Amino acid sequence: MNHHGTIQEKQSFFSSGGVPVKFEDAPSITSDIWIAETEKAQQSFPDIHFQYESIKGDRSGMVLVEELNASGTHTGKPYGFAHFPPVSTTYNFIVNDPERLWFKVKDGKITAMEVISLGDLTGPPGFYAQVGGKMEMPPPSED
């Protein structure tokens, strides 16, 4: 991921576009959505970098990435994720809190992924909050 790569290269890590990506504190998504959100972050934070403490795997195909931190400088496109509106480029350097990632791998491809936040500012919401984004619910429609 530190070399960014194309969407097709990112997709090649997964067994399909529908691989479940689960979060402990947010709705699950598919690997295709995860890749699309990663692309948005890379376009907004061109120097985005992922650093981790360790990677451990076992014979059953489980892989654990400990203490993954994402960081980058908001020098690219305005940043928004999911349905939240983009925030104009801030030029701020941000560092997310750490995360723990679990992968299930079969035949060299990821078949499941789980992300566990080890802090408050993680993933796209962490980047978004640190550049001044507000994750507020829109007012109810008057239809």
9-44 residue pLDDT tens = 888 899 998 999 999 878 899 999 999 999 999 999
Euclidean distance between CA atoms 2 and 107, whole angstroms: 23
Query: 8 in the Ramachandran plot: left (φ > 0), alpha (ψ -120 to 50) or beta?
Result: alpha
Euclidean distance between CA atoms 22 and 123, whole angstroms: 12
Exposed, middle or buried, 45 (CB in 10 Å: 0-12/13-18/19+)? buried
Instruction: Say what percent of the chain tops pLDDT 90.
Output: 79
Residues of the chain under the 50 pLDDT cut = none
Euclidean distance between CA atoms 65 and 53, whole angstroms: 8
Q: What is the pLDDT of residue 136?
A: 78
Q: Where are the alpha helices (DSSP H) in 1-117?
A: 7-11, 31-44
Q: What is the pLDDT of residue 39?
A: 92
Q: What is the pTM of this model?
A: 0.85
Q: Where are the alpha helices (DSSP H) in the chain?
A: 7-11, 31-44, 123-130
Inter-residue contact 54 to 100 (CB < 8 Å): no
Quickly count: other Cβ atoms within 10 Å of residue 136's Cβ: 7
Domains and CATH numbers, the chain: 14-130 (3.10.450.50)
For the chain, what's the residue count? Answer: 143
Q: What is the pLDDT of residue 5?
A: 76
